[in-house]
Chains A and B, each alone.
Chain A
Amino acid sequence: MIKLTIDGQEVEVAPGTTILEAARDELGIDIPHYCYHRDIGSDGNCRICLVEVNGNSGKLAISCQMPCGNDMKVETANDVVVKARKGVMEFLLANHPLDCTICDQAGECPLQEYSYEYGSAESRFVEHKRNKPKHTEFSDKVMFDAERCILCTRCVRFFEEVRDDRPLGVEGMGGESMISLGPNGPLTDPYQMNIIDICPVGALTSRDFRFKQRVWFMDFVDTVCPGCSRGCNISAGSYQGKLLRFTPRRNAEVNKSWMCDDGRLSYSDYNLTDRVRGARIDGQAAFLDSVGERLDALVGDGSGVAVLASTKSSCEDLFALRHWAESRGVTNFWHGAASWEADGFLKQADATPNTAGAQQLGYEPVPGDGPALRGLIVSGDVEVPPALLADLDFLVMQAVQESALTTEAAVIVLPARTAVEKKGTWVNSAGLAQAIAPAVDPGDGVPEDWALWRELSKKVEDWPSVRYVTAEMNAWLADRSTQTPLVAADS
């Protein structure tokens, strides 16, 4: 182990740790940085992470690359370092266009953020700023503004390091340098939009999100991408109840700092109209008491009845449903499936987020030729195999949107929430249980799915909030000796 002093405090780190990492992980000190990114590495070009090592104020060291050495004395914020930082900030801002008022990055811009501490209220640069092309279409997803670019090369290195490809390069020399597609055509990489997140300025922006909304007016919720069984952690951004974007949240174990473009853009799948609101029996609005009675009558002793649940449902939704159904004698618990093409990186073939959770809770893949059914209870956003619908005495649909099945076939229709309106837990394909949170509220007449079954089970007092469901579910799982304990959702 290496022992050194940072800002007067002694720390001990493993050999190979950089000063920046040591400061961050041992002391919670955030040394400003642009070209360094923890999942791409460092290029050592921005120079804003300079620190003083062993009193050498003449030549400062870049903390993002300098390895910690024994008995090193590091200053991350003394006068010399702060002046150097301000100097770098000033150089970055010298030719930077005054675009904040029209730049999408505003409000979540590391250049703005470090400007507060290290920039100057008045600029000393009174010359003409250098001009470069301002809206180059790198693809139908990504827009590039060369004037804003600080040439940190995170974008170029993302493709090189993470995607093993070279769709972008740096052309030219000196102050005329520019990030460029060069002779390549537009970006086609299915992870290209990650460069938007890692760009520390507004040089790379999302064409999908362009000019839609200011981030400080938006609401952001930490949740998980509903796109596939990888379970990339995301931040879901919405404005006035409408989803505007998904962006990845860092999770060292699951997705590092990345997500696929398809998952990222899937937010638009969830701004739906024509929702099922309130309960109906025989096409007429009904109270849940009546629904409960009718359901009990239909289900009878549970024989010949199957539950078909969505693997977008939360574990708590699935447990609450199972709890109600089991108590009525139902023994067939099936889950549906949806798939797309895996891409060899993050995107997995299972296009739903909670298949593993469903299976841990005793749901099996819907059989191709199962037992003859007299009743089917469909819960959530799941495709119903037509074969199951033949010769049914009754169909119950707990659905998100109206369809032929809800308007013409189902005797009982109940509302369901979308994947981004849930609070609970999903288990990804690696068996990791992750908390999900509602990013938007569906409005009147759409309670949480588990809450609906809570009502029908008359367990309102036992389960005042979802974490009580989680607790009972975990106990139930323990009894059945599942391998993975599940995580409690935040209340």
Chain B
Amino acid sequence: MFDKEIVEELEAIRSRFPFPKAAMVPVLRRVQELRGWLDSDAQAWVAELLSVKPIEVHEVVSFYPMFYGQPVGRHVLHVCRTLSCDSCGNKELWDHLETKLGVDRNGTTDDGRFTLKAAECLASCGTSPVMLINNKRHENLSLSQVDDLLEGCS
């Protein structure tokens, strides 16, 4: 499934821990980075790397909000919905994105470009409006800056 280089990288992550299973989350994050989401083949491959059963990977993937067990768009947008951000611009940011992209919570645009997700507190409480685009943080946003950022995402 992966090039030798990637396999070595993942094995190096695995070696940080006394038990291979403990590499579960960092390995899954990297695999998700490479494949976009964690399909069942990817999960089975990880299970083998970590000497666990596929269901043990499934249990973990289905738990964490930042693991995608379903396909996502090429660019995943996370907008914090918790109080500090919500009351300081993120509510408006969310509405803007919902309207602009024509999707609702967890939805993906028809062209497969964007998936819009509501996140809980991202620890950017003092710099809202804030969003993550593919896990990269963009703070103190104006709506026009948001539009520019989206423009730059093919």
Q: Is the CB of B43 within 8 A of A183?
A: yes
Closest-CB distance, A321 to chain B (whole angstroms): 53
Contacts of A166 in B (CB 8 A): 53, 55-56
Q: Would you call A126 an interface residue if the criterion is a C-beta within 8 Å of the partner chain's C-beta atoms? A: no
Q: Is the CB of B56 within 8 A of A171?
A: no
Q: Would you call A464 an interface residue if the criterion is a C-beta within 8 Å of the partner chain's C-beta atoms? A: no
Residues 151-195 (chain A) with a chain B CB within 8 angstroms: 166-173, 180-184
Contacts of A172 in B (CB 8 A): 62-63
Residues 6-65 (chain B) with a chain A CB within 8 angstroms: 40, 43-44, 53-56, 58-59, 62-65
Q: Is the CB of B59 within 8 A of A169?
A: yes
Contacts of A184 in B (CB 8 A): 54-55
In Å, the complex CA distance between A431 and B64 comes to 53
Closest-CB distance, A149 to chain B (whole angstroms): 16
Given A183-B55, A184-B55: A171 and B62 within 8 A (CB)?
A: yes
Chain B contact residues, majority secondary structure: helix
Contacts of B44 in A (CB 8 A): 183
Contacts of B55 in A (CB 8 A): 166-169, 181-184
Chain B, Cβ-Cβ closest to A178: B62
Chain B, Cβ-Cβ closest to A165: B53
Closest-CB distance, B120 to chain A (whole angstroms): 12
Q: Is the CB of B59 within 8 A of A171?
A: yes
Q: Is the CB of B59 within 8 A of A170?
A: yes
Closest-CB distance, B147 to chain A (whole angstroms): 33
Closest-CB distance, A483 to chain B (whole angstroms): 45
Q: Is the CB of A183 within 8 A of B40?
A: yes
Q: Is the CB of B40 within 8 A of A173?
A: no
Chain A, Cβ-Cβ closest to B47: A183
Chain B, Cβ-Cβ closest to A173: B63
Closest-CB distance, B133 to chain A (whole angstroms): 24
Residue of B53, B55, B58, B59 with most partner-chain A CB within 10 A: B55
Residues 53-86 (chain A) with a chain B CB within 8 angstroms: none
Q: Is the CB of B58 within 8 A of A171?
A: yes
Number of A-B contacts (CB under 8 A): 34
Closest-CB distance, B127 to chain A (whole angstroms): 27
Contacts of A171 in B (CB 8 A): 58-59, 62-63
In Å, the complex CA distance between A173 and B59 comes to 10
In Å, the complex CA distance between A55 and B90 comes to 46
In Å, the complex CA distance between A182 and B40 comes to 10
Closest-CB distance, B9 to chain A (whole angstroms): 25
In Å, the complex CA distance between A181 and B59 comes to 10
Residues 59-101 (chain B) with a chain A CB within 8 angstroms: 59, 62-65
Chain A, Cβ-Cβ closest to B63: A173
Contacts of B58 in A (CB 8 A): 169, 171, 180, 182-183
Contacts of A180 in B (CB 8 A): 58
Residue of A168, A171, A173, A181 with most partner-chain B CB within 10 A: A171
In Å, the complex CA distance between A169 and B62 comes to 11
Q: Is the CB of A182 within 8 A of B54?
A: yes
Chain A 180-213 interface 0/1 with B at a Cβ cutoff of 8 Å (1 = within)? 1111100000000000000000000000000000
In Å, the complex CA distance between A180 and B58 comes to 10
Closest-CB distance, A161 to chain B (whole angstroms): 16
In Å, the complex CA distance between A168 and B56 comes to 9
Contacts of A182 in B (CB 8 A): 54-55, 58-59
Q: Is the CB of A183 within 8 A of B63?
A: no
Given A182-B59, A183-B43: A173 and B54 within 8 A (CB)?
A: no
In Å, the complex CA distance between A454 and B54 comes to 62
Contacts of B53 in A (CB 8 A): 166
In Å, the complex CA distance between A166 and B52 comes to 10
In Å, the complex CA distance between A401 and B129 comes to 83
Contacts of B65 in A (CB 8 A): 173
In Å, the complex CA distance between A182 and B47 comes to 13
Give the 6 A-B residue pairs with the shortest CB-CB distance, closest first. A182-B55, A171-B62, A182-B58, A169-B59, A169-B55, A183-B54
| 24 pairs from A and B in contact (CB 8 Å cutoff) | A166-B55, A168-B55, A169-B55, A169-B56, A169-B58, A170-B59, A171-B58, A171-B62, A171-B63, A172-B62, A172-B63, A173-B62, A173-B63, A173-B64, A173-B65, A181-B55, A182-B54, A182-B55, A182-B58, A182-B59, A183-B43, A183-B54, A183-B55, A184-B55
Given contact pairs A166-B56, A171-B62, A183-B44, enumerate 11 new A-B contacts (beta carbons under 8 Å): A166-B53, A168-B55, A169-B59, A172-B63, A173-B63, A173-B65, A182-B54, A182-B58, A183-B40, A183-B55, A183-B58
